[in-house]
Amino acid sequence: MSKNLAWLCGGLMIMASGFATSRAEDPSEVSQQTISELDAYWGLVSKSVKDGDFEGYSATCHPLGVLVSGVKRTSYPLTEALAKWKEGFEETRAKRMQASVEFRFSQRLHDAKTAHETGIFRYATSRDGESSISYIHFEGLLQKSEAGWQIMMEYQKSIATEAEWTALATKRAPRK
């Protein structure tokens, strides 16, 4: 084997071994800090909805994020979704409406900088004595940056049932 070919093969092997070890963490080594950060992220989303804090909610969304709706069979930028939802936040902030969102997870995959969360969210509103509750199967793809955790893709897959929601209360979501 020529010196150049041997050097190239050796370099590729070193790069490949470094790549393999740096690509993913051992599932048993994923820190509790990451799980706590993700729980805090979803808590912030819930608080922003309850308080009608549009700016706070918007900050949880990546500027290039995408909303995918399985129910409506469409996708579009999260910035467009936020524009549609802004009035509801303003109504909530002005106390003309109450809103809440809660999350339960069936699967949570993550490392220190990325996460894929799967579960159901429960969105409830009340206005003028009229109440509405929706249960939605969803997936969220998140990324951590200097700004903190932000959702890159929110996939509202399909309508869920209250029974499915209740079942997730007793199931502990697998975590990577």
Question: For residue 70, is it within any domain?
Answer: yes
Question: For residue 109, is it within any domain?
Answer: yes
pLDDT higher than 50, residue 63? yes
Q: What's residue 104's pLDDT?
A: 97
pLDDT higher than 60, residue 15? no
SS3 of 107-133: EEEECCCEEEEEEEEEEEEEECCEEEE
The residue segments making up the domain with residue 125 are: 33-170
Q: How confident is the model at residue 174 (pLDDT cuts 50, 70, 90)?
A: low
For residue range 98-152, what is the model confidence (pLDDT) as tens digits? 999 999 999 999 999 999 999 999 999 999 999 999 999 999 999 999 989 999 9
Question: For residue 163, is it within any domain?
Answer: yes
Q: How confident is the model at residue 14 (pLDDT cuts 50, 70, 90)?
A: very low
How many angstroms separate the CA atoms of 105 and 53, rounded?
24
Q: How confident is the model at residue 30 (pLDDT cuts 50, 70, 90)?
A: low
Question: For residue 28, is it within any domain?
Answer: no
Q: How confident is the model at residue 13 (pLDDT cuts 50, 70, 90)?
A: very low
pLDDT: which is higher, 24 or 169 = 169
Question: For residue 85, is it within any domain?
Answer: yes
Question: For residue 158, is it within any domain?
Answer: yes
Q: What's residue 113's pLDDT?
A: 96
Share of the chain above pLDDT 70, in %: 80
Instruction: Let me know: does 158 contact 141? Beta carbons within 8 Å.
Output: no
Question: For residue 12, is it within any domain?
Answer: no
How many angstroms separate the CA atoms of 161 and 61, rounded?
26
Q: What's residue 66's pLDDT?
A: 98
For position 160, which CATH number holds?
3.10.450.50
Average pLDDT (87-100) is 97
Question: For residue 99, is it within any domain?
Answer: yes
Number of domains in the chain: 1
How many angstroms separate the CA atoms of 25 and 8, rounded?
28
